[in-house]
Amino acid sequence: MTTMLGITLAGRDVLLVGGGAVTARRLRRLLDDGAVPRIVAPELAPATRELVDEHRIVWHARRFHRADLAGAWLVHTATGDPRTDLQVAALCERRQLLCVNASDGSHGSARLTAQTRSGDVVVGVVSDAGVDPRRSMRLRDAIGTALAAGSLPLRRRRADAMGRVDLVGGGPGPVDLMTVRARRLLAEADVVVADRLGPAEALLPELDPEVLVIDVGKRPGHHPVPQEAINALLVEHALAGRRVVRLKGGDPFVFGRGGEEVTACIAAGVPVEVVPAPSSAIAVPQAAGIPVTHRKVASGMHLVNGQAELAPATLAALADPSITTVVLMGVAALPRIVAAALAHGVAPERPVAIVESGLTPQQRTTRTTVGEAVADARAVGVRNPAVIVVGDVAQAGFLLPQPLLAGESTP
């Protein structure tokens, strides 16, 4: 019967007998765990020697002596000679030292697990009877995949003395475009402060029923929870020892007021990190077959908040044929943007694409021009959420000259 123990080797002496490839693999793991390894072996394999030189590991270039066991917390023997490894294991048994016998795991008093990690959770897989490392590794990989997907119960049941806040970018919408770290942090969260856009609708039902979900989503002309109140919520729950995820659409630092939330957390002494995500400014045009930059066509991109007044730099970008201008939150402001562009001398025939509900089954792209954009958008009933692209890359058939992309409309 094998008993599972979580043992830390950080700062502790570990003796490795043998210097071959097996030792090199185990040595990397021990170094990652913070152990202080030393090696006894007449020779070293190239991979082992590289680690010894890089990390200045103590190496005794000779055969094993009994006295080498002194001071060790754990012994790992992998000489390539089963008889020698068995002798080392027997000596460790008599001295009540845990020993991993790599040549025959069933004759050692300890086994290294096939290990996977998710944040501060470490899961190890070991066989109870017999040694079957390939099976253990396949099971470990399956568990690792489930951890990465956030489908296992990672949430803590004991509150921390100090909580934390993670600003998590949900990306443009589909759950499978979120990062592994984002999914893990959601699975660990005690509180989720969620926006309207992004993957919240699909993800929130998967959370632990005890997780507090606070909807702070903004809609055009309707901001039920002011930004100052959102900042206060994040700080309040973190100071109460809770893990808080601020789930935002797109990337937290692209028109998401993430900088203000980070500032509020830092001012309150709350640990805070930001998890990036694909911004809809790039991902949504991409879904419609529009590259925001393209060699010899568009050498740069200018990103605009459609709700703000147009700056001189934005007007210059709209008129520059080498720049793609991407407007977020700009449907209501489209008449104002077009009027300012035309007054600034932007050519009426400059291509425009309006991509609605990007990366969803309702995605639709309207191809038009600066001069016709307002009338065409009104004709097809363009609605938020939408991304507006101005530039040569937005013209119909730029990448696909024959059939229109699925979901395109012709006013």
Q: What is the Cα 369 distance to its own chain's centre?
A: 37
Provide the token pair at 153: 């119960």
* Cα–Cα distance for residue pair 409/402, rounded to 1 Å: 15
CB 107 within 8 A of CB 89: yes
* Cα–Cα distance for residue pair 210/200, rounded to 1 Å: 17
- For the annotated catalytic residues, the residue numbers are 195, 218
Provide the token pair at 375: 């009338």
Provide the token pair at 114: 């096939």
Residue 105 carries which side chain, given as an amino acid letter?
A: G
* Cα–Cα distance for residue pair 185/285, rounded to 1 Å: 28
* Cα–Cα distance for residue pair 308/330, rounded to 1 Å: 9
Q: Which residues does residue 20 pair with via DSSP β-bridges, in sequence order? A: none
User: What is residue 308's three-state secondary structure?
Assistant: coil
User: What is residue 238's three-state secondary structure?
Assistant: helix
Question: Could you tell me the CA-to-CA distances from 376 to 4, 331, 372 in Å, in that order?
Answer: 67, 12, 6
- C-beta atoms surrounding 142 within 10 Å: 12
CB 341 within 8 A of CB 362: no
Number of H helices, E strands in the chain: 12, 18
Rg (CA), the chain: 29
CB 245 within 8 A of CB 192: yes
Provide the token pair at 326: 């991407």
- In eight-state DSSP terms, residue 309 is P
347: left (phi over 0), alpha (psi -120 to 50) or beta: beta
Beta strands (DSSP E) in 119-242 are: 121-125, 164-169, 191-194, 212-215
CB 113 within 8 A of CB 126: yes
User: Degrees (nearest 5) of the Cα angle 73, 79, 83?
Assistant: 100
CB 186 within 8 A of CB 193: no
